[in-house]
Chain A
Amino acid sequence: MLIRSASDILPSEITPREVYLNRRQWMAGAAGLALAAALPDGLGAAPLSATKSPFSTDEKMTSRQDVTSYNNYYEFGTGKSDPVEYAKTLKPSPWSVEVDGMVGKPQEFGVEDLIKTSALEERIYRMRCVEGWSMVIPWVGFPLADLIRRVEPLGSAKYVAFETASRPDEMPGLRSTFPVLDWPYVEGLRLDEAMHPLAILAVGLYGETLPNQNGAPIRLVVPWKYGFKGIKSITRISLVEKEPYTSWNKQAPEEYGFYANVNPNVDHPRWSQATERRIGEGGLFVKRRPTLMFNGYAEQVAGLYSGMDLRKLY
């Protein structure tokens, strides 16, 4: 696949290869120690070492406070501050992700092992919520494509299906009499979307392991799609032949499509998608900014959708 680099990255900002390789070597040891110390009890954030990425934006990052206290994670309630309050009950360690379906080598991966065996990168991405707000978040993760290659997808695999943990004991939203969604939360990507280097599995943010409210211990980040595609606390990834169900599409098919690409020209039926509010900018007097096609990643991903009617396949 031919990938051009983002136009907003200056060559001077890219860490030279030898520098980051050195750093990686040193950090690998440090990270191993830190993880061994911090992960077993599942409490608290552990530092992660990661190399810089040319895919990162240089826009001002949203504060860690806002990134970790203003969340949509309906398993813990529908309010934006519910996840930070109630997700403490989630036990993110030990954790394993089952990767199965149309693959040559189905496997169960422990998240600790994935962290140790993956080349972690910091990816500073824009995140655009379908509700009309956005953030800039420094994720730590690795390309989803790396994991998919490890299980050797068969030629018949066309889509990738994802599933969030379903743990009523740890997730109050799953115990509700009137569930807001059909649990467990599921999401999906076309295989070529999943293999795109911008699509990552994040295991951390701001240089540390993911807080529970942000989808610990491992979540999907697809920066050119609306935030709800970024399924959290993943327990299963399946390669499949047919387009998989996605939770919000099942809930309201007229409002949320399978693709959910950020698109200022296709409104949500109940609100405009032409503009967005950047969280942390301006307080009460926040100014809207125009939303960009594919959330500003058109240069890298528009080719995935050439010839498709994005009004119909929203």
Chain B
Amino acid sequence: MGGRASAPARKGFALPQVPKIAVYLIGFIPAVGTFYAGLMDQLGADPMRTLEQTLGLWALRFLLAALAITPLRQLLGINLLRYRRAIGLLAFYYAALHLTTYLVLDQGLDFAAIWADIVKRPYITIGMATFVSLVPLAATSNNASIRRMGGQAWARLHRLVYPAAIGAALHFILVVKSWPPEPMVYAAIVAVLLGYRLVRSVARRAFPKQRTA
């Protein structure tokens, strides 16, 4: 891991700093807006499904945004590291709301049906595993955990975000019929974000002297 959150942007990008609380406030707008539209009967013919899908989609978007922070810094010198924790936590909160919508509004807390879904339906199994893998990341997304665990162990644990991103993209692909473009586009973005890290780590191992960071 390279520079600290406080390191100035290298290539002259003087990004205005906004308070982190603003990231949360803006980040929750889709959730609040969609739920409110649902209560006002403004979500079309199938409002529950729309709410469920919107929350899941934003969870995936925030996950991708969190994963984009490192490449943005390394490739373009845009440093948004100070917002990464907020964005990552938003991904978790949206995943939790998405799951809650499924459990309560979609399945009506019918635990027999829910359990059958988890063990029998691959996309639910994968979705649930993805959510479970995000829990330790959210629980340790604080300075105290980093201090207690030590930076290296903490960073190792947080590599769980990679399989989580793959799981989220797969979950999306498997829930739809046929192969419509939208889930494929998200899967492609996941592939690029993770592929970038793979290529970089292989390259750094092969050419250790060219390390720049």
A interface residues, Cβ below 8 angstroms from B: 65-66, 69-70, 74, 78, 80-81, 131, 133, 176, 178, 180-181, 248, 251-252, 267, 270-272, 274-275, 277, 279-280, 283-288
Residues of B within 8 A of A (CB): 35, 38-39, 41, 43-49, 51, 105, 107-108, 110, 113, 116-117, 120-123, 174-181, 184
A271 and B121 in contact, given A81-B44, A180-B179, A284-B47 (Cβ under 8 angstroms): yes
Residues of A within 8 Å of B116, CB to CB, are 272
Query: B96: shortest Cβ distance to chain A, in Å?
Result: 17
Q: Within the assembled complex, what's the spacing in Å between the Cα atoms of A270 and B175?
A: 8
Q: Pick from B48, B107, B174 the residue with the most CB of A within 10 Å.
A: B48
User: CB-CB < 8 A to A70: which residues of B?
Assistant: 44-46
Cβ contact within 8 Å between B120 and A131? no
Task: Give Cα A282–Cα B48 distance, bound, in whole angstroms.
Answer: 9
In the complex, are the beta carbons of A288 and B108 less than 8 A apart? yes
The smallest beta-carbon distance between B178 and chain A, in angstroms, is: 4
Cβ contact within 8 Å between B39 and A284: yes
CB-based contact B174/A270 at 8 Å: yes
CA distance A180 to B51 in the complex (A): 25
Interfacial chain B residues near A286, Cβ < 8 Å: 47-48, 105
The answer for the CA separation of A176 and B181 in the assembled complex, in Å, is 10
Contact yes or no, B45 A66, CB < 8 A: yes
Given contacts A70-B45, A180-B178, A283-B47, 11 further A-B contacts (CB under 8 A): A78-B178, A248-B177, A270-B175, A272-B120, A275-B113, A277-B49, A279-B46, A280-B45, A283-B38, A284-B47, A288-B107
Is the CB–CB distance between A80 and B48 below 8 Å?
no
Which residues does chain A contribute within 8 Å of B110, judged by CB atoms? 288
Summarize B's interface: helix, strand, loop or mixed: helix
Whether B176 contacts A78 by the Cβ 8 Å rule is: yes
Q: Which residue of A lies closest to B51 (CB)?
A: A284
Residues of A within 8 A of B35 (CB): 284
Task: Pick the contact of B46: A65, A248, A270, A277 (CB < 8 A).
Answer: A277
- Residues of chain B within 8 A (CB-CB) of A267 are 120
CB distance from A120 to the nearest CB of B (A): 27
Q: How far is the CA of A279 from the CA of B43 in the complex (A)?
A: 12
Complex formed: what's the CA distance from A248 to B48 in Å?
Answer: 26
Smallest CB gap from B184: residue in A: A178
A74: chain B residues within 8 A (beta carbon)? 178
Given known A279-B46, A284-B51, contact A180–B123 (CB-CB < 8 A): no
CA distance A252 to B178 in the complex (A): 8
Contact status A69-B44, CB under 8 Å: yes
The interface centre, meaning the residue of A66, A252, A286, A287 with most chain B CB atoms within 10 A of its CB, is A286
Report the Cα distance A209→B35, complex, angstroms: 36
A181 to B178, CA, bound (A): 7
Query: In the complex, what distance in Å separates the CA atom of A192 from the CA atom of B182?
Result: 40
Q: Which residues of B contact A287 (CB under 8 A)?
A: 108
Alpha-carbon gap, A251 to B117, bound state (A): 23
Kindly report which residue of chain B lies nearest to residue A228, judged by CB atoms.
Answer: B177
A60 to chain B, nearest CB (A): 15
Could you list 15 A-B pairs, sorted by A, with CB under 8 Å? A80-B46, A81-B44, A178-B181, A181-B178, A251-B178, A252-B177, A270-B123, A270-B174, A271-B117, A275-B113, A280-B45, A283-B38, A283-B39, A283-B47, A286-B105
Q: Determine the residue in chain A with the shortest Cβ distance to B179.
A: A180
CB distance from A170 to the nearest CB of B (A): 20
Residue in chain A with minimal CB distance to B174: A270
CB distance from B26 to the nearest CB of A (A): 24
- Pick from B105, B107, B123: contact of A284, CB below 8 A: B105
Bound-state CA distance A280–B49 (Å) is 12
CA distance A271 to B49 in the complex (A): 14
**A78→B117 contact, CB < 8 A:** no
B171 to chain A, nearest CB (A): 11
B113 cross-chain contacts in A, Cβ below 8 A: 272, 274-275
The smallest beta-carbon distance between B99 and chain A, in angstroms, is 16
A66 proximity list for chain B (CB < 8 A): 45
B45 touches A279 (CB 8 A): yes
Chain A residues within an 8 Å CB radius of B108: 287-288
Q: Which 9 A-B pairs have the closest CB atoms?
A: A70-B45, A78-B180, A66-B45, A180-B178, A284-B38, A279-B45, A284-B47, A286-B48, A283-B47
Residues of B within 8 A of A180 (CB): 178-180
**Smallest Cβ distance from B1 to chain A, in angstroms?**
38
A69 pairs with B178, CB closer than 8 A: no
A70, A131, A267, A270: most-surrounded residue (chain B CB, <10 A): A270
